[in-house]
Amino acid sequence: MRAKAELTNYKPNNTNHMSFGDLELKLYQERQKNEELKIKIKILEDQLANISLIDKSSSNIPPLEEDCLKIKEVNKN
């Protein structure tokens, strides 16, 4: 079914039109995305902890918005 779908550019909207193999592949892809997100979350938590420690030790405490913008810039892909 997947090969036929790729040939005809048919994208099933729901799981009723997918074969068991298609569902297994989709599940595997979703699990991969989940693991990647867990890794990114851990990295961001570590960075946030480091920023919080630095801010507490410095006399100039930048606003929270600046911290968020810095983190966003560092993690742009």
How many domains does the structure of the chain reveal? 1
Model pTM? 0.47
Calculate ∠ Cα 57-58-62, nearest 5°. Answer: 120
Are the CB atoms for 2 and 22 separated by under 8 Å? yes
**Residue 20 domain boundaries:** 2-74
**What does pLDDT average to over the chain?**
76
* Helix spans in the chain (H): 2-8, 20-57, 64-74
- The tens digit of pLDDT for each residue in 29-52 reads 999 999 999 999 999 988 888 876
For helices 64-74 and 20-57, angle between their N-to-C axes, nearest 10 degrees = 130
